[in-house]
Chain A
Amino acid sequence: MAYSEKVIDHYTNPRNVGTLDKSNNSVGTGLVGAPECGDVMRLQIQVDENHVITDAKFKTFGCGSAIASSSLATEWLKGKSIDDAMKIDNMDIVEELALPPVKIHCSVLAEDAIKAAINDYRIKNGLEALVVEKSHH
C-alpha cells in the first residue's frame, strides 16, 4: 500500500515529538489505544489561563498513519482554544492525510487522544469533563 506524500512527510519529519510535565496543572494528557492493538498515542497539551493551547506534544507507537495523524493533530491544536480543539473531527484528519479506509482507525485514535487530553486538563482545573461520543471504531 502506498502512503500519501503528507503521511510520509509527517512520518519522516514528525512535528512536536516530546513530553510535557504531566503533573503540571496547565498540561492535559491523553493516552489512548493499546499495545496489543498495535497502536498507542500519547498527546499532551499546554494550556494558558485563557484556555488557549500554547503547545502540544506527542509520542505514538503505531504504523505510519498513526504517527502522521498524531503529528498533524499537534500542529492543529496549537493556538486553538480548548473549546475549538474539541471540534476537531477524525474525518478532517482523514481528508488532510488522504488516509485509505483501512487506516481510518488511526484518525479516530487521534481524535480520541485530543479529547482525552482536553478532558484531563479540564478535570485538573475544576472544569466539568465533556462527554465524549464514542466515535465509530
Chain B
Amino acid sequence: MNLPIYLDNNATTPMDPRVLDTMLPYFNSKFGNAASRNHAFGWAAEEAVDYAREQVAQLIGANEKEIIFTSGATESDNLAIKGVFEMYKEKGNHIITCVTEHKAVLDACKHLEKLGAEVTYLPVKTDGLIDLNQLEAAITEKTILVSIMYGNNEIGIVQPIKEIAAITHKHGALFMTDATQAVGKIPVDVIADGIDLMAFTGHKMYGPKGVGALYVRRKNPRVKVTAQMDGGGHERGMRSGTLNVPGIVGLGKAAELCRLEMAEEAKRLSALRNKLQTSLLQMEESYLNGNQENRLPHVANISFKYVEGEGLMMAMKDLAVSSGSACTSASLEPSYVLKSLGLSDDLAHSSIRFGLGRFTTEEEVDFAITQTKKAVNHLRDLSPLWEMFKEGIDLDKIEWAEH
C-alpha cells in the first residue's frame, strides 16, 4: 500500500493506464489535424475522433452526431446555458437552476442575468434533492431552460432526473444537466432520462484532463445552441477550435471502459463506501450529509462535530480527501452546498468528503477508517467544544465573540 491514499475522486480521477496507452500514438506518429481532409495524417486523426465519438455516444445512449467535444465540463456548461439563452431568446428569457449546482452553472446563469435573463435558483431539501412541486411552480411561459445537475460533487446525491425532465418537457422547456459526477459512474441514458443537453468531462471518469463533451439532442426536439467561440466551425458549428485528438481518443477509451465495467465497479465501490461510512458513523456525533438512497456509489460526505475540517485533514495526512471547511477556500466561507442543506456553519466546517475510485482497494479503505478515527479522536482531545459538549454545556446558548 502506497501512502498517501487518494480518496478525492470527485475532484479528479487518475487516468486508467489503458486510456493512456490508447492516447500515446496520437501525440507523435498520428499527430494529424482531424480537419485536414486531403492527406493520410488528417484521415487517421478524423477516424480516431469518429471512433471516440461513437464510444462516448454509446456510454450515454446517444447518437454520435449528438456529441460535441469541448475542453471540459465547465466549457460544456457554459456552452449549453449561454448557447441556449442566445438561441432561444425569442421564446423567453427564464432559466431555472438550483442553489447546489457547480459554479460553472451558477456563474454562467449570473452572467446571463446581466444580459437580461431571469433566473430562478431553486432551494434544496435537507437531503439535497430539489422539490418537484417547487420546480413545476417555478416554470413560467418564459421558461426556456431547466438546468439541474445529475449527481452532486460535494455530497454525491443523485437528483430525480427523469421526473425533472418530464416536468420540464410538459411545459415546453429544454432540460439540461451537468452530469460531470454521474457519467461513467452510474447508468445515464439520454433517451430514457429525457435529457436535451448534458455536460461531462474526461478526467472524472479515468480519462485525461482538458477534454469533455456536450450532448446536444438532435431529435424530439432538435436542440441548437449558439456557438460561444468563433472560428473554423468545427463540431457542427457549435464549437470551433482544432480538435484535441489525443484527448478525445482518451475520452472515448475512458467512456468505453466505463460502459463495460461500470456495473461491477459500482457494486464493488458501494460496498467499500458503505463499509467506510458505517464504520465512521459509529463514532459519536458524526453525521452523513445528503440523501442516503439516491447517491453515487463512491461518495460519502460526513461531518464530525466539534472538530474543524482543515485541522482534521491535517491529522489525516496520509489520506487525500477534501473538506467543506472555510479554511480550505480563499473565501473563508464554508461550503455553500452544505449550507444549502440547512447545515449549521459549524457542521459545514466539520465535513469531510470521501470519494472512492476505480483503484481504491479494501486495504486502503480499512486504513482510511483507522486514520480518520484516530484523527477525529486526537482533535476532539484538543477541542474546547468537545469538552463543553461532554460537560453537557449547550453551545448554542453561549454568546460567542464575533471576529
Contact = CB atoms under 8 A, between A and B. Distances in A.
B203 interface: no
A35 B311 contact: no
Interface stretch (A37-45, A47-55, A87-95): A37-45
Contacts of B327: 38, 62-63
A67 B382 contact: yes
B384 A40 contact: yes
B21 interface: no
Given A34-B401, A35-B395, A35-B400, A63 B325 contact: yes
Given A31-B384, A42-B384, A60-B383, A137 B403 contact: yes
Given A59-B387, A67-B382, 16 more contacts: A3-B314, A11-B315, A14-B382, A19-B387, A35-B400, A36-B345, A37-B326, A42-B384, A59-B383, A60-B383, A61-B308, A61-B379, A61-B384, A63-B311, A63-B314, A102-B332
B1 interface: no
A105 B314 contact: no
Contacts of B384: 31, 40-42, 59-61
A36 B308 contact: no
Contacts of B387: 19, 59
| Closest CB pairs A-B (n = 5) | A34-B400, A36-B345, A35-B346, A42-B384, A63-B310
A33 B386 CA distance: 15
B90 interface: no
Contacts of A137: 403
B157 interface: no
Interface string A74-113: 0000000000000000000000000000100100110010
A17 B382 contact: yes
Contacts of B306: 61
Given A14-B382, A60-B382, A60-B384, A32 B403 contact: yes
Contacts of B383: 59-61
B313 to A, nearest CB: 9
Contact of A40 (B315, B379, B400): B400
Contact of A32 (B310, B315, B385, B401): B401
Nearest to A42: B384
Interface string B364-403: 0000000000000001011111110000000100001111
B307 interface: yes
B210 to A, nearest CB: 24
B137 interface: no
B314 A40 contact: no
Contacts of B250: none
A11 B314 contact: yes
A86 to B, nearest CB: 18
Interface string B340-352: 0000111001000
Nearest to A1: B328
A37 B346 CA distance: 7
A62 B330 contact: no
A109 B379 CA distance: 18
A42 B119 CA distance: 45
Interface in B211-257: none
Given A19-B387, A63-B327, A33 B381 contact: no
Nearest to B334: A38
Given A36-B345, A59-B382, A60-B382, A67 B311 contact: yes
9 contacts: A33-B400, A33-B403, A37-B403, A38-B308, A59-B383, A60-B382, A61-B386, A63-B308, A102-B332
